[in-house]
């Protein structure tokens, strides 16, 4: 099965998860940038997911930021969906570059992030039948 999360849904899920687990008033921000990667410096859309919160240190409010990598986002969604009886098999960013160009014109490229595509399977459910535990394989 596939589940789609919009950019807004992704932010809400990550916000809720980090507020619950870290106890801080965390804020998630998602930006997409065009970066040039590889030997031939191909244009790629790179998604940056930042988690930030403020801490009070010696009477001063300090903003603390860190970037979440794709593996950490995978673990968050695996944890949340695991509580609902699903196992995450794969997580993909729905991101890319849209370009507008006309004949003899260089045009412009704009990176986008539409959200996440999460491939899941439902976990096997164990039921008690006749007082004995049956296990599904």
SS3 content of the chain, % helix, strand, coil (to 5): 20, 55, 25
Kindly list the distances between the CA atom of residue 137 and the CA atoms of 102, 107, 119, 125, in Å, as whole numbers in the listed order.
57, 55, 21, 10
Q: What pLDDT shows up at residue 137?
A: 47
Q: Are 66 and 55 contacting, i.e. CB atoms less than 8 angstroms apart?
A: no
Joined together, the tokens standing for residue 25 give 């008033």
pLDDT tens per residue across span 7-26: 999 999 999 999 888 877 78
Predicted local confidence at residue 132, as pLDDT: 56
d(CA 74, CA 24): 21
Please tell me which residue, 66 or 104, carries the higher pLDDT value.
66
Neighbours of 16 (CB within 10 A): 14
Total number of domains constituting the chain: 1
Among 110, 137, 107, which residue's Cα sits nearest to residue 125? 137
Domain residues for the domain of 120 are 2-134
Q: How many C-beta atoms lie closer than 10 Å to residue 63's C-beta?
A: 9
In a 13 Å sphere around the CA of 28, the CA atoms on its Cβ side amount to 20
Most confident of 22-31, 40-49, 97-106: 40-49
Most confident of 51-60, 89-98, 106-115, 116-125: 89-98
Q: What is the mean pLDDT of the chain?
A: 87
**36-40, 113-117, 127-131: which has the minimum mean pLDDT?**
127-131
């Amino acid at each position: 099965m596939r589940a789609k999360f919009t950019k807004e849904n992704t932010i809400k899920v990550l916000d809720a998860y980090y507020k619950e687990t870290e106890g801080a008033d965390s804020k998630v921000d998602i930006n997409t940038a065009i970066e040039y990667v590889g030997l031939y410096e191909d244009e790629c859309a790179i998604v940056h997911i930042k988690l930030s919160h403020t801490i009070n240190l010696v009477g001063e409010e300090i903003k603390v930021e860190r970037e979440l990598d794709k593996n950490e986002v995978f673990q968050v969604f695996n944890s949340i969906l695991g509580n609902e009886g699903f196992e995450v098999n794969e997580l993909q960013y729905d991101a890319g570059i849209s370009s507008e160009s006309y004949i003899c014109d260089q045009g412009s490229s704009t990176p986008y992030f539409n959200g996440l595509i999460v491939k899941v399977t439902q976990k096997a459910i164990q039921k008690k039948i006749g007082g004995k535990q049956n296990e599904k394989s």
